[in-house]
Chains A and B, each alone.
Chain A
Amino acid sequence: MPATSSTSSSDRRLLWLVRLAGLLAGAVFLAIRIPACGGALTQGRDALGGDLYQMARVEDFREPMPGESITPVVYGAPAESAQVVLIGDSHTRFARGGKSLASRLHERFPQLRSCAASVIHPRFFDPSDLLRLQRIRPGQVKLVVWESTERYLPDIALYRIPLPSHGWDTTARFDRFLQARDFSARWFTGSEAGYQYLLLNSRPTRGLMERWNTLRFHLAGELPSSIGAWTRSPARLFMDEEVTSAPLPAGRAPTSFRQPRDSLLAEAVAASLAEARDRLRRDFGAELVVVAVPAKGSLAHASLGYAYDGFLPRVDRALGRRGIRAVDTWNALSGLGDGALLRSETHLSPASYSLLSDSIAQAIGEAVPELRGR
C-alpha cells in the first residue's frame, strides 16, 4: 500500500474509491479496443434495433453491419459481366430484420454489381470514375443505380459521388494503409468515438442517456450533439441532427439536411446529376437512375411537429425536367405510414426496403428492357 503508509482512514476510504474508479476506467479502456469486452458491456445491437448511433454519430469507429463484414463491400457480379451497377450508402447494405437492398436486387438481377459507399469523404468522385476504378469497360454496363440518403443528397450531388473510405481499392498496399490507420485510431486518435459508442450503448447508461435527452429535447427543444431523443406517439428515436435547425459548423457538411433546402438547391442537385449522367452516357453508354431515400425526420415529420419542406419531390421534378430517371421513393414510402421506419434506427424497416427494391427493379426494367420481368 505505497500511498497509504501515513494516511488517515478517510484518506484510505477515498483511495479505495479512486482505485475502484481506476478499475472501471481500465475495463472501459479495454472495452472499446477489444471487441469481446465491448460486446459484454453493450446490449447487442439486435436487441436495441440500433445502429443509429454507430452509423450517424460515431464517426470513424467502424464495425461491420449485422450479418456483413466490412471487406469486401463490393459484391455481386464480376466487373467484366456487370450490366447494372448499384452505388449506394448505408441503405444499400443495411440488413436488419431482412435482406439488404443490395441482396434483394442481386437476387433479381444476377448481373447486378453493388458497391456500398457509405462515408462522406473529402475527396469526391464521379460515377464514371467509380466505374473506371472497378475496371468496368465502356459497353459492359448499361445502367448505374445511384442510391443516396436525402440528408446527404446535396453534399454528394454537388460535390460528386463520395469516395468510399474502404473497399474500392483492394490492393494489399491500400489494405495495409487502412490497417495502420485503424490501429492508430483504435489505440490513439479515435478512441473518443468508441467511448461515445459505449456510453450510448452500454447496459447501464443507454436507457438513462436516452431518457435524459428526451427530457431535454421536450423541455429545451434542442439536444446536445452525439445523443438521441425519443418522440411520443409513435415512440421513435431521433438524432439531434434530425431535429434541430442550427447550421452545422463550417466544413463538417457544406450542404446538409439542416440548410435551407429551397428550389435553387433542388435545381443545383439535378443539374449536377445531369452532368454525371451525361458523362456516363458519353464514356460508358450507360444510363443513370437516382434513388433518393427519404430521411427518417422527413417521413416522421408530423410526430416531430415539423412540416415537411417537400425537398425530395422537388428534386424528383427537377430531375424529371432534365430527363433523369428517379425512383419515386417519397410517395412509395410515405404510403407505408408508421411501418416505414424502425423504432430506434436511422434506417428503414424491412417492409420499406422490400418496397424500395420493387421500385428500383421496376426502374431497372424500364431503363433496360432486356432485363425486365426478372
Chain B
Amino acid sequence: MLFNSLQYLVFFWLVVAAYWSVPHRFRWPLLVVASCYFYMALVPAYILILLLVILVDWGAGLWIGASEGWRRRLALWCSLGANIGILAIFKYWGFFHDLSADLARSLGVSRTPLPALSLLLPIGLSFHTFQSMSYTIEVYWRRQAPERHLGIYALYVLFFPQMVAGPIERPQNVLHQLREPKTFRSGQFLSGLRLILWGLFKKAVLADNLARIVDAAWTDPAAKGPGLLLAAVAFSFQILCDFWGYSDMARGSARCLGIDLMRNFDRPYASLSLGEFWRRWHISLSTWFRDYVYIPLGGSRVLPLRRDLNLLVVFTLSGFWHGANWAFLLWGGLHGAFRVLEDRLGLGKGRNLPWLRRAVVFAVVTLAWVFFRAGTLPAAVSWFHRLSLPAQGWHLPLSIWNALLPLGLGLCAWVEARRSGYLLERWHALPTSARLALLSLFVLLVLSFGRFDARNFIYFQF
C-alpha cells in the first residue's frame, strides 16, 4: 500500500480510529493484523516470507538469550544466515547467476553453475531483514533483552508505517514503545498529521513533478546535451523529496499511533562534507552500517590504510544493499572512494567557505546519483556519452508550471531549516482560525499541484 494513495487514506483512518478505541491489550493484535493487510495490498503471498523471518529471528533471539559461548554465536549466525539467505535468494540470485554465467562463458564452460530463478523481489525485503538482524545482533551484544512476546516482536518487524522503506529501527527505540500503554494526546496526534501532510507535499508535489522532467530525460533515447545535466540535478532533488517524504509520512503515521520513529533525514544537501552528508542522508541505514559493519571491522581506530579499506567495504556494501548490479556497486564504491579522498586530504574538516563546500558535495552526490538512476552500467555510460553530445534540438519538456518547482524546493528547505524551533513556536503562537486557514491553504496547494496517480516510492524497490 502506498502512502500517497486513497487506499492508505481509508486504511489509516480505519486503523487509527480502531487503535484509540480499543483497550491496550487489543492494540498489538490490531496493529499486527493491520500491518499484514498493509503488506498484502502489494503482493499477498509474500507475507509468508516476512512471517518466516519473524519466526526465525524471534526464536534466535530467545536462543541467544538462553545460551552462552559457542551456542550463543551459533544462534546469531543462524539468524544472520537465514536473513542473508533470504536476501540472497530473492534479491541477489539473479546477479550471481549472471556473474557465474559470464565466468563460465569466459572459461569455456557451456553449463551455468547456478540455475536461473525468476523471483519477484518482495517489497521492502532489505529493510525488514536489516531491522530483524539489528534485533538479534543487539540481543547478542546484550544491549537488548530478548523479546518473549511473539506478537510484540512480530509488530516490531511488521509495524506498517516503517515496514516497507524504513526507517530501519533499533529494538531499543521501538520495542518498549509497542509494549507500553498509551494515552491519546491531541498535540501528538496533530503533529503526526502535520508530518504526514508535509511528507505528502514532498512526495506528490515535489518528487512526482520532478519525476516528469527526470523520466523524460532518462527514457527518451534522443535526449542529449546539457539538458541531461539539469535532469541529473532534478533527480537529486526527486530522490531526496521522494524518500524524505516517505520517511515523514512514516513517522507521522506512527506518531498518530503514539509511537516515535527515528529521523531518517536531516537536510543532507546542506552538508559541508561527504561524511556529514552520510550522517544526514538515510540516517537509519548509515548508522546500521556504522554500528554493525564499520565498527566491528575496527572503524577508525585502526591504521589509516585499514580505515580506508573499511570505508570502501562499508560503502560498497551499502551500494550492494540498494541493488544487485554493478551500477549500484559502483555508486557505493564511488561514495567510498570520495570519502577516503576527503579523509586523506582533510577536506571534511573546518567550516570555511560553506556555500562552496556545499556545492562541491552536491556536485559529487549528483554525479554518483547518475549510476543510481541508470540502474545498469551501460545505461550510465550511455548517459555520460549523450551528455557530451550537442543537444541538436532536444530539450527538457519544461512548462511554466515547472518554474514553480524551485519555489517549492525553496519552501521545503526554508521550513526544514526552521521547523524544530522558530517555525513551531510561531505556529503555536497563531490563533486557531489562522492555523486552520493556513493548513487549508496548504492542503489546497498539495491537491492542486500534487500528482496523485499512486506513483511508487523509489526506495520501495529495495
Which residues of A come within 8 Å of B, CB atoms? Answer: 2-8, 10-11, 13-15, 18-26, 28-29, 184, 188-189, 191-192, 195-196, 199, 216, 220, 222, 224-226, 246, 249-250
The segment from B14-22, B57-65, B142-150, B376-384 found at the interface with A is: B14-22
Interface SS majority for chain A: helix
The segment from B240-248, B316-324, B326-334, B450-458 found at the interface with A is: B450-458
Q: A184-B44, A225-B453 are in contact. Are A2 and B23 (CB under 8 A)?
A: yes
| Chain B, Cβ-Cβ closest to A4 | B184
A188: chain B residues within 8 A (beta carbon): 37, 40-41, 44
Interface SS majority for chain B: helix
B11: chain A residues within 8 A (beta carbon): 25, 29
Contact of B451 with A21 in the complex, beta carbons under 8 Å: no
B10 within 8 A of A: yes
Contact of A24 (CB < 8 Å), options: B7, B13, B23: B13
Which residues of B come within 8 Å of A, CB atoms? Answer: 2, 5-7, 9-14, 16-18, 20-24, 37, 40-44, 182-186, 189-190, 212, 215, 219, 397, 401, 448, 450-454
Task: Report the minimum CB–CB distance from A42 to chain B (whole Å).
Answer: 15
B40: chain A residues within 8 A (beta carbon): 188
B189: chain A residues within 8 A (beta carbon): 14, 18
Contact of B397 with A246 in the complex, beta carbons under 8 Å: yes
Interface centre among A13, A22, A26, A222 (most CB of B within 10 A): A22
A23: chain B residues within 8 A (beta carbon): 17
Task: Report the minimum CB–CB distance from A26 to chain B (whole Å).
Answer: 6
With the chains together, A191 CA to B212 CA distance in Å? 26
B24: chain A residues within 8 A (beta carbon): 2
Task: Report the minimum CB–CB distance from B107 to chain A (whole Å).
Answer: 37
A196: chain B residues within 8 A (beta carbon): 6
Task: Report the minimum CB–CB distance from B45 to chain A (whole Å).
Answer: 9
Contact of A191 with B448 in the complex, beta carbons under 8 Å: no
B42: chain A residues within 8 A (beta carbon): 189
Contact of A18 with B44 in the complex, beta carbons under 8 Å: no
Contact of A14 with B401 in the complex, beta carbons under 8 Å: no
B17: chain A residues within 8 A (beta carbon): 18-23, 25
With the chains together, A132 CA to B9 CA distance in Å? 47
Q: A6-B183, A184-B44, A225-B453 are in contact. Are A18 and B6 (CB under 8 A)?
A: no
Contact of B20 with A11 in the complex, beta carbons under 8 Å: no
A-B contact pairs, 21 of them (CB 8 A): A2-B21, A2-B24, A3-B20, A3-B184, A7-B184, A8-B186, A11-B184, A11-B185, A11-B186, A14-B189, A18-B17, A18-B20, A25-B11, A25-B12, A189-B43, A189-B44, A192-B454, A195-B7, A216-B448, A225-B451, A226-B452
Q: Which 9 A-B pairs have the closest CB atoms?
A: A22-B17, A195-B6, A25-B13, A3-B184, A3-B20, A25-B14, A225-B453, A14-B186, A2-B23
Task: Report the minimum CB–CB distance from B86 to chain A (whole Å).
Answer: 22
